[in-house]
Chain A
Amino acid sequence: MTIAPIETTVLGPIDEIPFGEGRTYAVGPDMIAVFRLRDGSLRAVSAVCPHKGGPLADGQIDNKVVVCPLHLYAWDLATGCSQSGQPPINVYPVRVDDGHIILGD
């Protein structure tokens, strides 16, 4: 599990992300996919699939994993670990504060 350090950043209103979907945000040089789970919590991971560069924010999720839309490899949203033998992805701390998505601690 790799929790990457990141500067605390307000990404935008939580309403930008529908339940069960993800959206990509550019934060400095990093591209980060933020997912809003159906239980209301948020997860943030690196936006680029380490396999072939697929856009993870376009993948389908449940409360545990994201499935890359290109070749259907899956990663654990909480730990970043692959479930199918691929390299891990970065995970970032993320939370909702007063209707806004806050990335970082």
Chain B
Amino acid sequence: MTKRLVVIGNGMAGARTVEEILARNGDFTVTMFGDEPYGNYNRIMLSNLLAGVESEEGIYLNDLAWYQDNGITLNAGVRIERIDRFAKMVYATDGTATPYDKLIIATGSSSWTPPIKNIHNPKRGFHQGVFAFRTLDDTRGMIRYARDHERAVVIGGGLLGLEAARGLQNHLSEVTLLHAMGHLMERQLDEKAGHMLQASVENKLGIKVITNAMTTEILGKDRVTGVKLADGTVIPCDVVVIAAGIRPNTQVAADSGLTVERGIVVDDQMRVQDEDDIYSVGECAQHRGNLYGLVAPLWDQAKVLADHITGRDTEAAYTGSKLSTKLKVAGIDVASMGLIAPETDDDEVIIYNEPKKGVYKQLIIREGALVGAILVGDNSKAASLIQSFDRVQALPEERAELLFDIGGPAGEVKPEDMPDDAQVCNCNGVSKGAICGVVNAGCKTVSGVMDKTRAGKGCGTCKPLVQRIVEWAAGGEAEEDPAASWYVPGVPMPKPELMAAIRKYELKSVSAVFEKLVPGGEHDAKSKMGLASLLKMMWADQYIDERDARFINDRVHGNIQKDGTFSVVPQMKGGVTTPAELKRIAEVAERYNVPMVKLTGGQRIDLLGIPKEQLPAIWADLDIPSGYAYAKSFRTVKTCVGSDFCRFGVGDSTALGIAIEERFQGLEGPGKMKLAVTGCPRNCAEAYVKDLGVVAIDGGRWEIYVGGAAGAHIRKGDLLATVGSAEEVIRLTGRFLQYYRENANWLERTYAWVPRVGIEKIRAVVVDDAEGIAEALDAAIEEAVQAYKDPWKERAVPATPGQFRTSLPLTVLPQVPVRS
């Protein structure tokens, strides 16, 4: 049965909660009461309105048509004065009574007026020229009045006061900011940051700031002529704006007998204490002793309330919010989260201070987790810090990486500065506008947006930018994607848990994993390849190989090309070949009219444009093993000529490269593995930028570098170890590769995995056996090596019916007789 829902309050909290209820198809007739005679506008944007960078139309979140379209009765400008909880009625000041089945109180808060002599005029509220800064009407009044005057004083040096001061500069020439405390924004910033902000506000914006300024009196008989401070100072002015804080509007609730402390007391379902049918949400609600004045907590509260009131999820619970803000305060970047000062001697405090540029950064870390941060003058790392703070993520060992982009591109592009048609993803041609469109249509997770637009799904280098755009477009409401930590999108588990479950239940095929570990047993096409790789690694020859779990490349052992043909790359260990082998490859290329023969970057020969149905015959004629140039696997070992011929070579890099490729050929992993061995530090084989690169140094020794890359991402590898023999290189290579196979996420290349885990940790495990697993790693890699079979031997009989049947194109060609 349709129930009657009454909402007291038509601000951001009330309207947002109604939106969430509608989104859950809640069966209600909705009546809303709002103090102000308007639809719902974005209060946060009032400072932009004051500053003249936004129009009144631009700040509406829900215009009057929205209420009509959704069948909501809006009583704008009608104030509720009493609730009868027993009769379930609300009474308005205009004498009307409205019955409800469910009631939501979202009365928000109002501007707090400090006790200052002469601030009020008994006839007309405030003294002429004095304004609060809370509502659209306040803002309109202020703009109108400021136009004809010269000097303004803003009382209150918090966020709102700073915004008011900045906005007023748009309308009059002289603005002074008075703050009763020792430094600006003392709730969000420590003293140093507050002073830094003050210096920027004064020097860059030309706003005069006085701290420790207790305003005692408003001067002027009919209209404001100045303010007087406790120390006797008089500041002449024509306009006074009060921005000294807010107080929750709890009068109606208190008068109606609801439990009110500082705010209206609610439980984890946002129900008012001891009431089954009355909820409260937003700035007026007091949850677990806390009041929240930011929007992010409010959005979370609205969702829980909507889940509960509609019965969608009666277990939904709001458990409180960790507070963080990231904003431009009067044009200056400021971010703050958690603690603003250390609390114990063990708290790790990291400070960066550059007064000349107005940049200040402070982090507080406790037991390896970020518990507080302050940024002034540079918010480039704010989004990632807020994420670390909210989700209690592990922090990089190099703490400096938290404060700066090290080794990244110098200037990070800001989403707000980009035009809509700017191309973000250069692989798939996705614009900023396309990403914002998907976000505005309701998709607020990074992976969801990537799925829908395919942005970031090519080389992946634009993914951080896609993330920033999504966060920006969602206006701080980007949702955490639970799947982000999963090994594959279709099985809700990170890799370690997934591997433990696979072992526990002895799941040896991809469909067994779906059926046992996915609620509802739903299969997922996009997860099959990653699971196949993992299971093959875990079970080796016990793995039950379901061919449909393989990507087409792994079904037919070639790399699919744009026209549906395949490439064939025969193995050429270490890039070394023979005239006889070259002749055979040439003959095959001629015999099959191979459209293109090309040397690869991995020192091999690529035959491109081979129709699927010709693959087995070509492999047979080549009679060379597969070079695995198509799989997420060990690919190739690039070498230089080393000591055999090169007059600089100090180690036999070709022989070692061939030995490494011989041993680890075809080994599958979470990502491809490209290796190199070079005969001296001149590095002709580019070993510093390989997943694993070996460099011969004088004295018969070898350096092993890991985690390098020179593709879409460029990174010099980290030195893992320097060893004295080729055997030792091979042993550590195997151990490193196995450790990577077992621990990296799906498609996580070593250049991402090595820095994530840390080279010290990897060295401890792989070289020093700190965890006592070296023997197990060696045994596992040995088993994988022994399980190697050349896939190109799978050619006499197809593994599945129609394995090599063409899928495109199927146009029947006319049969032309061939003349001999």
Contact = CB atoms under 8 A, between A and B. Distances in A.
A58 B808 CA distance: 9
B808 A31 contact: yes
Nearest to B556: A58
B523 interface: yes
Given A62-B522, A84-B451, A18 B552 contact: no
B682 interface: no
B452 interface: yes
Interface stretch (A3-11, A66-74, A93-101): A66-74
A60 interface: yes
Nearest to A82: B452
B525 A61 contact: yes
A72 B807 contact: no
A69 B552 contact: yes
Nearest to A77: B525
B562 interface: yes
A74 B528 CA distance: 14
Interface string A20-32: 1111111000010
Interface in B802-816: 802, 805-812
Nearest to B526: A67
B520 to A, nearest CB: 11
A53 B802 CA distance: 21
Contact of A16 (B523, B549, B801, B812): B801
B523 A58 contact: no
B465 to A, nearest CB: 19
Contacts of B809: 31
B168 to A, nearest CB: 45
B810 A62 contact: no
Contact of B810 (A22, A24, A54): A24
B452 A85 contact: yes
Contacts of A52: 562
A2 interface: no
B529 interface: yes
Given A72-B457, A84-B451, A85-B453, A24 B806 contact: yes
B533 to A, nearest CB: 13
A33 interface: yes
B552 A31 contact: no
A69 B452 CA distance: 17
B52 interface: no
A53 B564 CA distance: 9
A102 to B, nearest CB: 18
B808 A53 contact: yes
B548 A18 contact: yes
Nearest to B527: A62
A54 B564 contact: yes
B810 A26 contact: yes
Contacts of A56: 807
Given A47-B808, A69-B552, A20 B564 contact: no
A83 interface: yes
B454 A71 contact: yes
A16 to B, nearest CB: 5
Interface string A44-66: 00011000111111111111111
A24 B452 CA distance: 27
B311 to A, nearest CB: 28
A62 to B, nearest CB: 4
A84 B447 CA distance: 12
Contact of B551 (A18, A26, A60): A60
Contacts of A31: 808-810
Given A47-B808, A54-B564, A71 B548 contact: no
How many chain A residues sit at the interface, stated as a range, is 35 or more
Interface string A30-46: 01010000100000000
A47 B528 CA distance: 21
Nearest to A30: B810
Contacts of B457: 71-72
A56 to B, nearest CB: 8
A26 B812 contact: yes
Contact of A60 (B511, B525, B800, B812): B525
B187 interface: no
B548 A84 contact: no
B549 A20 contact: yes
Contacts of B810: 24-26, 31, 47
B547 interface: yes
Contacts of A33: 807
Contacts of B525: 59-62, 64-67, 74
A19 B808 CA distance: 20
A98 B801 CA distance: 19
B526 A21 contact: no
A27 to B, nearest CB: 10
Contacts of A25: 810
B549 A62 contact: no
A62 B523 contact: yes
Interface in B770-820: 800-802, 805-812
Interface in B398-444: 428
Given A24-B810, A52-B562, A38 B523 contact: yes
A58 B564 contact: yes
Given A47-B808, A60-B528, A84-B452, A18 B523 contact: no
Given A38-B523, A47-B810, A15 B564 contact: no
B801 A18 contact: yes
A17 B457 CA distance: 30
Contacts of A26: 810-812
Nearest to A37: B523
Given A18-B547, A60-B529, A63-B523, A23 B808 contact: no
A82 to B, nearest CB: 10
Given A62-B525, A63-B522, A84-B453, A21 B800 contact: yes
A21 B451 CA distance: 23
B728 interface: no
A69 B560 contact: yes
A70 B801 contact: no
Contacts of A85: 452-453
B546 interface: yes
B275 interface: no
A38 B511 contact: yes
B524 interface: yes
A47 B810 CA distance: 10
Return the 6 tightest CB-CB contacts between A and B, nearest first: A20-B548, A55-B807, A55-B808, A62-B523, A57-B807, A26-B810
14 contacts: A19-B546, A19-B548, A21-B548, A24-B807, A31-B810, A33-B807, A38-B548, A48-B808, A53-B808, A54-B564, A58-B552, A58-B560, A63-B523, A84-B453
Interface of B: 428, 451-454, 457, 490, 511, 522-526, 528-529, 546-549, 551-552, 560, 562-564, 800-802, 805-812
Interface of A: 15-26, 31, 33, 38, 47-48, 52-67, 69-74, 83-85
